[in-house]
């Protein structure tokens, strides 16, 4: 079956979630489970489940969908469910900006020539970049990239801010965790750490999901919004800054925080988060990749 760009992107996220779970074959997978995991309504989930079954990520039975006998490997996900053309363009623009290959201000005509894409596709991607807080229409004509973590001072200042906010969020009196979501996060981290080759885009998704999920658990609207904002800012830098070893180290640190929360040790989880962010702030090299 054919999926549109948005559905294809959602199917990729669902495939990553399913491979990370490591459920036993035959375990039922419901629309409600995917709806909660992906943060969408049932309608798009209902559309992608037959597609996931056709690619081997689900097995279809008389009474719904189940975990198949053999799940495709996580690092073969891109081959099974290719990125949509819009996602490819989105990722390329982010990577080019993170390596200073494109200017801060640009016109649509410049990007149409550079990426050899139709205006309609570029417009869709620019709207998505705008919704993610990465670009905005510039005064007069064209577009501009919003301030991001492009230099060492900005990056360190961002981490210092996060060191204040994120550990405190875990200790908020309104903090309410979802253990099922934590176990799902943990499974994704363990799976990522175990593969031989690492998917940088998947790392960014896991990393953002971890920090934004814990912020949502705080039930503090200002913490939630600020963590979400810094996740968007980091998208322009994470492509260039992290190697395979560092990505796996971060996953291990995340798992330790998740384990502390699952054991009911919020103060220890907060202390681990503080240490995690302090170490991360010192681990970045600002030498751009070619």
How far apart CA 161 and CA 204 sit, in angstroms, is: 20
- Regions of the chain with pLDDT less than 70: 1, 20-22, 73-83, 149-151, 195-199, 201, 235-243, 283-290
For the stretch 214-241, pLDDT in tens is 999 999 999 998 898 788 777 666 655 6
How far apart CA 73 and CA 96 sit, in angstroms, is: 29
For the stretch 173-210, pLDDT in tens is 999 999 988 998 898 888 787 765 566 767 877 888 89
From residue 128, how far is each of 93, 125, 202, 223, 274 by CA, in Å? 12, 5, 18, 23, 32
How far apart CA 133 and CA 47 sit, in angstroms, is: 28
What pTM value is reported for the model?
A: 0.61
Report helix, strand or coil for 178: coil
Q: In this predicted structure, what is the pLDDT of residue 73? A: 62
| Centroid of chain to Cα 74 | 15
How far apart CA 156 and CA 158 sit, in angstroms, is: 5
Q: In this predicted structure, what is the pLDDT of residue 49? A: 93
CATH class of 5-80: mainly alpha
- Domain 85-145 in CATH 1.20.120.430? The answer is no
DSSP assignment of 86-135: HHHHHHHHHHHHHTT-S-SEE-HHHHHHHHT--HHHHHHHHHHHHHTTSE
Q: In this predicted structure, what is the pLDDT of residue 288? A: 44
Sign of the alpha-carbon torsion through 144, 10, 37, 190: negative
How far apart CA 3 and CA 173 sit, in angstroms, is: 43
Q: What's the angle, vertex CA 189, arms to CA 243 and CA 204, rounded to 5?
A: 50
Domain boundaries, the chain: 5-80, 85-145, 152-282
187: enclosing H helix or E strand: helix 179-194
Q: In this predicted structure, what is the pLDDT of residue 252? A: 92
Q: In this predicted structure, what is the pLDDT of residue 283? A: 66
Give bridge partners of residue 105 from the DSSP assignment. Answer: 144
How far apart CA 211 and CA 209 sit, in angstroms, is: 6
CATH class of 152-282: mainly alpha
Q: Do domains 85-145 and 152-282 have the same CATH topology?
A: no
Q: In this predicted structure, what is the pLDDT of residue 16? A: 73
| Centroid of chain to Cα 268 | 25
């Amino acid at each position: 079956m054919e999926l549109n760009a948005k559905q294809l992107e959602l199917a990729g996220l669902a495939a990553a979630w399913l491979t990370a779970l490591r459920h036993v074959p035959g375990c039922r997978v419901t629309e409600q489970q995917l709806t909660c995991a992906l943060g969408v309504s049932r309608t798009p989930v209902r559309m992608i489940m037959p597609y996931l079954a056709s690619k081997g990520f689900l097995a279809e039975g008389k009474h719904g969908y189940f975990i198949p006998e053999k799940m495709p490997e996580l690092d073969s996900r891109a081959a099974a469910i290719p990125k949509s053309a819009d996602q490819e363009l989105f990722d390329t623009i982010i990577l080019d900006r993170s390596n200073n290959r494109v200017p801060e201000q640009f016109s649509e005509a410049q990007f149409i020539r550079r990426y050899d894409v139709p205006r309609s596709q570029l417009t869709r991607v620019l709207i998505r970049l705008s919704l993610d807080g990465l670009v905005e229409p510039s005064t007069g004509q064209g577009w501009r990239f919003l301030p991001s973590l492009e230099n060492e001072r900005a990056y360190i200042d961002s981490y210092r801010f996060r060191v204040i906010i994120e550990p405190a969020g875990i200790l908020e009196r309104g903090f309410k965790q979802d253990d099922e979501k934590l176990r799902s996060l943990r499974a994704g981290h363990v799976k990522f750490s175990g593969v031989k080759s690492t998917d940088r885009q998947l790392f960014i998704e896991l990393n953002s999901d971890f920090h934004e999920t814990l912020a949502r658990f705080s039930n503090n609207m200002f913490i939630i919004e600020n963590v979400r904002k810094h996740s968007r800012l980091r998208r322009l830098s994470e492509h260039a800054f992290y190697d395979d070893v560092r990505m796996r180290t971060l996953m291990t640190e995340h798992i330790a925080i998740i384990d502390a929360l699952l054991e009911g040790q919020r103060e220890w989880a907060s202390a681990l988060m503080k240490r995690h962010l302090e170490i991360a702030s010192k681990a970045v090299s600002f030498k751009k990749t070619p």
